[in-house]
């Protein structure tokens, strides 16, 4: 799929069920270290991407997404949740339904790991292992999903302002910081309770 290859990753696509009409659509925006895409394939497919070399989030809309990385068991990510992919490990989307729309975020590996170091004072020596699933129906996950949703809405409007560095940089930082605060990983406790933070004054 050339559009995904150009904006995201080299891939091999296998059509599992060929529809009467094949209608794919891809809208993509890059905001300095994060690539956001609104993707519809139009056919039931399997996508093999190999090792991503970046952190990645897929938010399925409409149909569940089946996927796995390396030798780990297959995951099923339903609407209302997000699939979180590691930069290492061969990656396969085992089934992407033709009617299913995906909001995709590709996050530069160095960008995310530098942000962890900036926020915690600890430089990750290995990739930050994110929990494979994120609940988007409540709490921080829901708030983060709303932030991403507003970004996607602007993407469809052409978003000329989002391409300006004064707007793109803080929005990009908000998306990344929100993900790190919402997703499960070994640095979460330090983000929730940063050293030197003070309680309310009496």
Q: How many domains does the chain have?
A: 1
Which residue, among 5, 2, 14, has the nearest Cα to 92 in the 3D structure? Answer: 14
Quote the pLDDT of residue 202. Answer: 35
Inside any domain, residue 197: no
Q: Choose the weakest-confidence range: 84-93, 94-103, 116-125.
A: 94-103
Which ranges of the chain would DSSP assign to H, the alpha helix? 2-7, 109-120, 139-156, 165-182, 188-192
Could you tell me if residue 200 is inside a domain? no
The 10s digit of each residue's pLDDT in 120-150 is 999 999 999 999 999 999 999 999 999 999 8
Segment 78-89, tens digit of pLDDT: 999 999 999 999
> Buried (b) or exposed (e) across 86-123, using 16+ Cβ within 10 A?
bbebebbbbbbbbebbbbbbbbbbebbbebbeebbeee
Q: Would you say residue 198 lies in a domain? A: no
CATH number at residue 49: 2.60.120.10
In this predicted structure, the answer to whether residue 200 has a pLDDT above a threshold of 50 is: no
Q: In terms of residue numbers, what domain contains 182? A: 2-189
Domain contains 201: no
Please report whether residue 169 resides in a domain: yes
């Amino acid at each position: 799929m050339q559009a995904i290859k150009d904006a995201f990753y080299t891939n091999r696509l296998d059509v599992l069920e060929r529809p009467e009409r094949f209608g794919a659509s891809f809208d993509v925006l890059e905001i300095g270290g994060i690539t956001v895409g609104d993707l519809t394939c139009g056919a039931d497919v399997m996508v093999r991407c190999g090792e991503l070399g970046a952190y990645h989030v897929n938010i399925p809309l409409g149909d569940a997404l089946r996927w796995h990385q390396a030798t780990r068991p297959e995951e099923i990510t339903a609407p209302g949740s997000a699939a979180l992919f590691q930069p290492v490990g061969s990656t396969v989307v085992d089934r992407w339904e033709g009617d299913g729309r995906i909001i995709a975020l590709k996050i530069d590996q160095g960008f995310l790991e530098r942000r962890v170091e900036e926020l915690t004072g600890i430089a990750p020596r290995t990739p930050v292992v994110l929990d494979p699933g994120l609940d988007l129906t409540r709490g921080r996950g829901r708030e983060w999903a709303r932030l991403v949703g507003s970004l996607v809405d602007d993407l469809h409007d052409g978003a000329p302002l989002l391409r300006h560095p004064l707007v793109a940089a803080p929005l990009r930082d908000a998306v990344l910081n929100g993900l790190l605060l919402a997703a499960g990983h070994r640095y979460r406790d330090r983000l929730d309770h940063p050293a030197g933070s003070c309680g309310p004054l009496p």
